[in-house]
Amino acid sequence: MRSGIEPSELRSFIALAEERISPKGVASLHGRAEMLAKLPLGLQRRIVSLARQDDDMGFVVEPYCTFLAYEIRDEAAARRLLPTGYRLAPTAMFADETPRPCAILGAFNVHASVFWGARVELYLIAEHESTGMLTWVICDYESNTINYDPGQGFSASTTSRAVVTTSHAGEVIVDVRSRRRTNALVLTASLEAGEMRALDQRLWVDGNLSVDYGGRLEHADSVPFGLVFDPAEMTRALRLPVEAVVVDRNTFGADFRAERPFSVACFPYAQHFLTTSYPRSSPIRDRQALEDAVRAQAAGRRPVLGRAGAGGR
């Protein structure tokens, strides 16, 4: 079986992801999500469990999303945020870096079938003890649009300010502040100082096949979910020297991470994904199956991306 997605297949997949995203549809869902947020959590989870099993969505991360990797200095505190069955896994963002236990902070703009806006997410990188799957565990986030997570259900915007943008001076500018919590990320990064470098494939490809929730966001009945994407989108990114990134304020994970990041990555192009509307486990476990899923979607065969109740827990 051949490997690698053909350019025509990639363009078809990109068009498929984009065409599933409608500003009108997102606008109508915004109001519904805010209404659902007023319901008891148990009822919210019941509604999610009855959602269509084959209802997959487009998810597009816009150019210049930026990730900061911090070494974990208090592993015990970090482990307390992991769901049962996970252990911290040493990793690195780029292929030539020394792996170490780390927390990664991502700042990005996204448009998806169910929301549209800016987000900052805090991840712990962990390995599932039973499946061996490397997993991005989302432990905290702030967003200026509607949200859903298993631990807290639906919610409206959580931010008082949400700026993730670029300037004509060649900078990434992030200024995201929570309206409810002490979370804040304020930074400026020079793009001109960056160079395209090879990414660690286990982190960026394998890790995105298993995404889970930890800390205040987790719930015992939730399962890890996966993303479908062309793995070539995770081949390289801009490596920004840490001295070219001025972090004026970062309170995410401050109780267990180092003060300064050891690595910064920026993707100067859009990334296109398909995933399920609500967290559902994915049958995709390796790069070959991922490429097969992209080809199937591009050809209009549309395999089911997830199934409720299955997974690695």
pTM: 0.92
Side-chain-facing half-sphere of 11: CA atoms under 13 Å: 3
Predicted confidence at residue 39, as pLDDT, reads 83
Burial of 219 per CB tally in 10 Å (0-12, 13-18, 19+): middle
CA 297 – CA 46 distance, rounded (Å): 29
pLDDT in tens, 21-75: 999 988 888 877 788 788 888 887 787 776 655 567 899 999 999 999 999 999 9
Burial state string for 49-63 with b = 16 or more CB within 10 A and e = fewer than 16: eeeeeeebbbbbbee
The mean pLDDT of 175-189, rounded to a whole number, is 97
Which domains are delineated in the chain?
7-44+57-158+193-243+251-298 (2.40.400)
User: Token match 């995105």: residue?
Assistant: 208
Give the Å distances, CA to CA, from 297 to 99, 253, 260.
Answer: 34, 37, 41
Whole-number mean pLDDT of the chain?
A: 91
- pLDDT-derived band at 221, boundaries 50, 70, 90: confident
Residue 312 has pLDDT above 50, yes or no: no
User: Token match 């939730």: residue?
Assistant: 222
Residue 21: how many other CB atoms lie within 10 Å: 19
Residue 290 has pLDDT above 80, yes or no: yes
Predicted confidence at residue 127, as pLDDT, reads 97
Q: Which residue has the higher pLDDT, 54 or 125?
A: 125
Backbone φ and ψ for 309, nearest 5 degrees, come out as 85, -15
Residue 254 has pLDDT above 70, yes or no: yes
Predicted confidence at residue 259, as pLDDT, reads 97
Question: In this structure, what token pair is assigned to residue 71?
Answer: 């070494």
The answer for residues whose C-beta is within 8 angstroms of residue 154's C-beta and 6 or more apart is: 33, 34, 36, 37, 44, 146, 147, 148
Predicted confidence at residue 41, as pLDDT, reads 82
Percent of the chain with pLDDT over 70: 92
**Comparing C-alpha atoms, which of 78, 80, 84 is closest to residue 125?**
78
The alpha carbon torsion through 61, 66, 71, 73 (nearest 10 deg) reads -90
* 148, 33 Cβ separation under 8 angstroms: yes
Q: Indicate the range of 131-140, 175-184, 299-308 predicted with least confidence.
A: 299-308
CA 145 – CA 167 distance, rounded (Å): 23
